[in-house]
Chains A and B, each alone.
Chain A
Amino acid sequence: MSIDLSQFIATFLEESYEGIDVMENSLLSLEADDDEAINVIFRAAHSIKGGAGTFGFNEVADFTHVVETLLDEVRSGQQNVTPDLINLLLESVDCIKGLLEATQDGPQADLQQIEDVKQRLQVYIVAHDGADDASEENTEDSAGTEDQSWEIHFSAESEILENGHEPALMFSALADLGTLSVTAELDALPALSECDPQLLYLSWSLNCQSDCPKSEIAEVFEWVEDECRLVINKIVSQKAHSRNWQISFAPQSDVLNTGNDPALMFIALAELGDLKVVANTDKLLSLHEHIADALHISWQLSLNADCEKQQIADIFEWVEDLCELQISELSATDKQQNNAVDAKDTSAGTADNKKADGDKAKARSSKAAESTSIRVDTDKIDSLINRVGELVITQAMLGQVGDDLSDIAGVNTERLQEGLEQLERNTRDLQEDVMRVRMLPVSFVFNRFPRLVHDVSGKLSKKVELIISGEQTEIDKTVMEKIGDPMVHLVRNSLDHGLEEPAQRIAAGKPETGTLKLDAYHQGGFVVIDIIDDGNGLNTEKIRAKAIEKELITQDQQLSDDEINGLIFKPGFSTADVVSDLSGRGVGLDVVMRNIESLGGQVSVKSEPGKGSAFSIKLPLTLAILEGQLVRVHEDTYVIPLVSIVETIVINKEGKNPIAGEEKLLHFRDEYISHLDLKKLFNLPGADSAAGSDTTLVAIVENAGKKVGLVVDELYGQQQVVIKSLEVNFKRIEGLSGATILGDGSVALILDVAGLIQRGLNFEVASAVQSRNKLQNERTQGYL
């Protein structure tokens, strides 16, 4: 075909990956007799196969075809749903994914594995069928050594040309498949004077001599399938026996209103063979009750024809939603239809019917979805968010001007202020709406865990029940993308080291099956994700010993259990010889913590020996906006993220505990915490004068379980600030996570608490070194 398909490939892949996710999830929740789940899986596989064929990814299409065949047998109840089958199908899903990735410069798919899985799939199919027809079907489908021809009847809607479809091109595509003869049917052709050059009046009968599978022929017509009537029949050399079909057709009473005429259908049926029609008039109303357009008749038809069920079904295609239709074959005659080719055709026919049903259902549901959602590039949304951010700043600026003008009485001032109030409301709503565009339910991340838990627990031979709740909690897409890996790490960690093996669990008096709970919920302006297991909990003693060995703490340091547990997030804790004890993959929990903190979030762990551990991730709803506490340091305004602030307190001289002559520790709620003077840290003037004053304003901030008091000069209000990057035009600065623009248009810097603490430590070291040097110098000078 002449259409450049490459532009659709990205969409195809995107949809296929979604399809794969759907298959995976449905497979994991699949139980016997769950028809809907099987249908969902089947439809997803079918779409992938269809798309792959269209775009020429034949390996994908071939492989998926085998999967589909097996799925179809499951669907029709010929196969039982067993754990083995599910595992095999899950492996197949991985193979499809691998093959798809391989088409996009991904790593080469593992052909050996794919071949292996394919073989096992076919063994399944064959094992069930018992007969040789399945294997024959496969050889026939893929190799197609037999001579065969296809009879195609193609009649399109008259507007098809306006939609840019060209039957001639389709026919030439067919001609590529084999020898093609085309007969045009001119019945519908109007008189020349009435001809509209834009419309199509022709229909065609084609005969294509080709050993290609039916799907290849159907693909040629794929783009017009909604706009045409297409019948594809295989012509087999053997003359098949005439078959008796029993059709019961009970249309709804309003079927005539839809423009369908049963009489025309019967004529079409009659063309297939001998037709007997018996009308059932039970429901016929008396004449005076009769409504002109309503139909109260149903029919029993018997057809003696050499045709497939599908051909009959095709005739009723337009009314299938509007009627009850049963097509059955009378088996009295021709029971000996064991001709392999015929048998295959029949099954293919029914399969196709089902496929068509599935496709229609899918088309219907996707149509419904289309009307409610669109795919938009995230860049566009981000620029929209930026623009709205600007608007918020401008609005705040105008608001201040309005406030300044409030002294001047006058009608215009009042109107201005009313307008400004409206503007403020609308801007706030607009901002919230725009922010919500980026929000997705956290289920996008949670969805991968059933599979992960299934696989990992299988490998570790542990029994685990995964309980997911709160998956509808919404979170910013960027946050979502970055939270996946840390969560996978934590979940694996819980499975690997938290939950015990069944025997151990029974010995400990716990149920054999462990539970792993994923929970998401909103808390203030944040989203909290909990990962809770009922395993063995953290071994506090072991962690303490390891931390001492790694010199993270000293032997005589007194720490609470929570503090000790918090040490597992320390960089350097996860080194090679610890891996076997607590991690396992060489990636430490410090990486988890770093990733989460880079998102402006926090992670903490609570553990009870023998009862389990709970990791809790606290994330901002969005990365674009931050709840901040505005503070003054010297002459400048800074923003402290509200999430980090534990409390702000005023302390007087007694609260400060001098250590070695320097006031470094604060007494805060039974804790001693060190404090950082921002002025000193930032080399701002006036640092020393504050130290001498009686009272100090301190914002207690917390990061990674470590509390530090930040000394500030004044507290301003709390407000949402739009985060601007310093890196875009400048660079990353330690201790600052960005900047924001205040209502008056000036820039305020946003403090990064983790960086500040780090910086504070460096500072302490540096000043210690400096004072020692100073001492050294004085001594040296003294000697001189």
Chain B
Amino acid sequence: MSTENWQNQAAETQHNSEGQQYLSFVLDAEEYGIDILRVQELRGWTPVTPVPDMPEYIKGVLNLRGAIVPVVDLRKRFGLPEKDYGPTTVVIVIKVDSGTKERIMGIIVDAVAETYTLTQDQIQPPPQIGGGISSEFITGLVAQEEKMIVLMDIDELMNSDELAIDVPALSNAK
């Protein structure tokens, strides 16, 4: 994305107050967007402490200035092919609404791409059958310059399966 584009987007924000800003990131050559207000910070990849007996996609926990924050590898979460973590690998620290409380969690993505300001009418409804990720986590699709951006519902995603607060004790039988 060019600076010009960013400026266009910024200008658009001013013109369209109803627009919502999204941060997009790259995952296996696809671009996904999440509500930018949910993003607390971006961190480079540093090794995390694995938590025993968790599904593979929960990489572990990291120390975020004293808070213990779980980190999820989105590639693994969606069953995408593995890729070594490199200099562009980013942990996006997000605020997740978990019903009774807000949790701080991290997601590992290939790289951060852009920010967009999108209005409601630019967003198309999610398809019945998704691509890389399950359609239940998709809130909509947006076409931007011949690219498709998948908007993700992070609350749905980060409260699913073993990430949910009250999961009955995991079966230890493996």
Cβ-neighbour of B171 out of A736, A741, A766 (below 8 A): A766
The A interface, classified by DSSP as helix, strand, loop or mixed, is: mixed
Cβ-neighbour of B61 out of A393, A735, A747 (below 8 A): A747
Interface string of A731-762 (1 = CB under 8 A from B): 10111101101000111110000000001001
- Are A766 and B48 also in contact (CB < 8 A) when A731-B164, A731-B167 are? no
Identify which of A251-259, A434-442, A532-540, A720-728 touches chain B.
Answer: A720-728
Interface string of B134-174 (1 = CB under 8 A from A): 00000000000000000000000000000111110111111
Known: A730-B68, A738-B68, A762-B172. 15 other contacts (CB 8 A): A636-B49, A681-B52, A682-B52, A682-B53, A724-B66, A728-B67, A728-B68, A729-B103, A730-B70, A730-B103, A731-B163, A746-B63, A748-B49, A766-B171, A767-B173
Taken together as a complex, chains A and B put the C-alpha atoms of A726 and B68 apart, in Å, by 6
Chain B residues lying within 8 Å of A741, measured Cβ to Cβ, are 63, 66, 68
Chain B residues lying within 8 Å of A770, measured Cβ to Cβ, are 173
Shortest distance between the CB of B1 and any CB in chain A (Å): 31
| Interface positions of A from 658 to 683, Cβ below 8 Å from B | 681-683
Q: Judge whether B49 and A747 touch: CB under 8 Å.
A: yes
Cβ-neighbour of B51 out of A725, A749, A766, A767 (below 8 A): A749
Chain B residues lying within 8 Å of A429, measured Cβ to Cβ, are none
Shortest distance between the CB of B162 and any CB in chain A (Å): 8
Taken together as a complex, chains A and B put the C-alpha atoms of A390 and B65 apart, in Å, by 8
Shortest distance between the CB of B40 and any CB in chain A (Å): 11
Whether B36 sits at the interface, judged by CB under 8 Å, is: no
Chain A residues lying within 8 Å of B65, measured Cβ to Cβ, are 390
Q: Judge whether B63 and A747 touch: CB under 8 Å.
A: yes
Chain B residues lying within 8 Å of A683, measured Cβ to Cβ, are 52-53, 174
Whether A122 sits at the interface, judged by CB under 8 Å, is: no
Chain B residues lying within 8 Å of A725, measured Cβ to Cβ, are 68
Whether A508 sits at the interface, judged by CB under 8 Å, is: no
Q: Judge whether A747 and B48 touch: CB under 8 Å.
A: yes
Q: Which bucket holds chain A's interface residue count?
A: 35 or more
Taken together as a complex, chains A and B put the C-alpha atoms of A767 and B174 apart, in Å, by 8
Whether B109 sits at the interface, judged by CB under 8 Å, is: no
B contact set with A: CB distance below 8 Å: 47-53, 60-63, 65-70, 103-105, 163-167, 169-174
Shortest distance between the CB of A121 and any CB in chain B (Å): 48
Closest B-chain residue to A738, C-beta based? Answer: B68
Chain A residues lying within 8 Å of B171, measured Cβ to Cβ, are 766
Q: Judge whether A763 and B172 touch: CB under 8 Å.
A: yes
Cβ-neighbour of B172 out of A724, A729, A759 (below 8 A): A759
Closest A-chain residue to B170, C-beta based? Answer: A734
Q: Judge whether B172 and A766 touch: CB under 8 Å.
A: yes
Cβ-neighbour of A729 out of B60, B67, B169, B173 (below 8 A): B67
Closest A-chain residue to B54, C-beta based? Answer: A733
Shortest distance between the CB of A185 and any CB in chain B (Å): 64
Q: Judge whether B165 and A731 touch: CB under 8 Å.
A: yes
Whether A389 sits at the interface, judged by CB under 8 Å, is: yes
- Are A735 and B52 also in contact (CB < 8 A) when A730-B103, A747-B62, A766-B172 are? yes
Cβ-neighbour of B105 out of A684, A729, A748, A769 (below 8 A): A729
Q: Judge whether A390 and B66 touch: CB under 8 Å.
A: yes
